[in-house]
Structure formats: C-alpha cells, structure tokens
Amino acid sequence: MLERRVNYFEIFHLPIAFELDSVELASRYRQLQQQYHPDKFAAASEADRSRALQWAAEINAAFNTLKEPVARAEYLLSLQGLEIRGEQQTLQDLDFLEQQWAWREALEALPAATAPLLASANLAEELSLTQRQMQTALSQTLAAGEWPAAADWVRKLKFMAKLQLELERLEDSLLDD
C-alpha cells in the first residue's frame, strides 16, 4: 500500500508531461482499480480496509485529473508551484477578451437567428477549432517550461469549456422548442 503521497503521474507510472497516452492511462487505471478495489479487502483489518478505500479514492482522483487535458495542465502547473485551480484571475490579453465578447454576442443571438441550429453548429465548429489550437499552444508552452504562459492558456481553455457548455445548453433548449 502507498504510505506517502505520490504525484498522479507516479501512481500510473507515466512520465510527468502534458502529452500522454490515454489508452495506457485507462489500462493502468483499470489494473489499479482491480488491485485496490475495497471489496478485495473485506476480510482485512480495519486499517487495511481504510487504506484500500483511501487508495481507491486517490486512484480515481488521479485518473479523473489526468484524463482531462485542462485538469492535467492545471495539475502540472501545481507541481511547479502555480496553483490556478479555482482562481478567478482576469486575463490581460485584450485580443482574447474582445474575442470572448464576440462569442458571447454570437451565443446570445442564436435563438433569434433565421436558422438557429445551423448557426449553433457553425459556432460550435469555430469554438472546437479554437480549443484545439489553444490546446496545441498549451502543450508547447508546457513542454518549454513556460509556466506563466501555460497558466494563461489554461485560463483561456477554461473559458472555452464554459462557453461550450453554455452553447450545448442553448442547443438543448432550441431542440426542446
């Protein structure tokens, strides 16, 4: 059993890097879940059952963090001493702030569009392309060890994820009408 706290990459024996093999991560997750499933410790001592439960929770937390690119990037930044999870810092990138404004206006205009579902699909495509470009930039800045720049890319990607969620909710309401 694990007695000291290890980082999430060590749990899965993966290199500490933004780019990772998601198939390998999932495979190692399943192996660890089988090995440390609390049911396997039903006849063990109370202390061993408790450790197995804690270890299973840690494995789940590690997997959920590493499988999502933005969460993985936030975690990598935290390993470098940059804790940005849950922060509300405003970006200083004026071009991005202007683009945010334009996307929000486009989102608000969707219900009144002549073909709202088509307009929604076009906006979704634009957002998806932008997210992929940002994720590539994030990967490059993390690989170069440019931590503050990487933190800004994470902040931008978090905004994009929120906007994407709002778009999905709006699409659902359009379909319900």
| Burial of residue 172 (number of CB atoms within 10 Å: 0-12, 13-18, 19+) | exposed
Written out in words, the top-level CATH class of the domain with range 94-176 is: mainly alpha
Q: What is the pLDDT of residue 177?
A: 67
Q: What is the pLDDT of residue 36?
A: 86
Residue 99 pLDDT greater than 70, yes or no: yes
Residue 1 pLDDT greater than 50, yes or no: no
CA pair distance 66, 12, nearest whole angstrom: 10
CA pair distance 52, 175, nearest whole angstrom: 45
- For 145, list phi and psi in degrees, rounded to 5: 70, 25
The mean pLDDT value for 150-174 works out to 94
Q: Could you confirm whether domain 8-67 is CATH 3.30.160.100?
A: no
Q: What is the pLDDT of residue 5?
A: 62
**Domain extents for the chain?**
8-67, 94-176
Amino acid at 29: Y
Q: What is the pLDDT of residue 174?
A: 85
- For 15, list phi and psi in degrees, rounded to 5: -65, 150
Q: What is the pLDDT of residue 16?
A: 95
Closest CA to 18 of 155, 141, 148, 156: 141
Which residues touch 53 (CB under 8 Å, ≥6 apart)? Answer: 38
Measured from the Cβ of residue 157, the count of other Cβ atoms closer than 10 Å reads 20
The region of weakest confidence among 4-8, 65-69, 99-103, 138-142 is 4-8
The confidence band for 118, taking pLDDT boundaries of 50, 70 and 90, is very high
Closest CA to 62 of 108, 14, 110: 14
Q: What is the mean pLDDT of the chain?
A: 91
Q: Which of 28-42, 81-95, 98-112 has the highest mean pLDDT?
A: 98-112
pLDDT in tens, 37-75: 888 888 888 888 888 888 899 999 999 999 999 999 999
The confidence band for 96, taking pLDDT boundaries of 50, 70 and 90, is very high
Q: What is the pLDDT of residue 60?
A: 94
Closest CA to 134 of 167, 164, 158, 157: 157
Closest CA to 82 of 129, 40, 142: 142
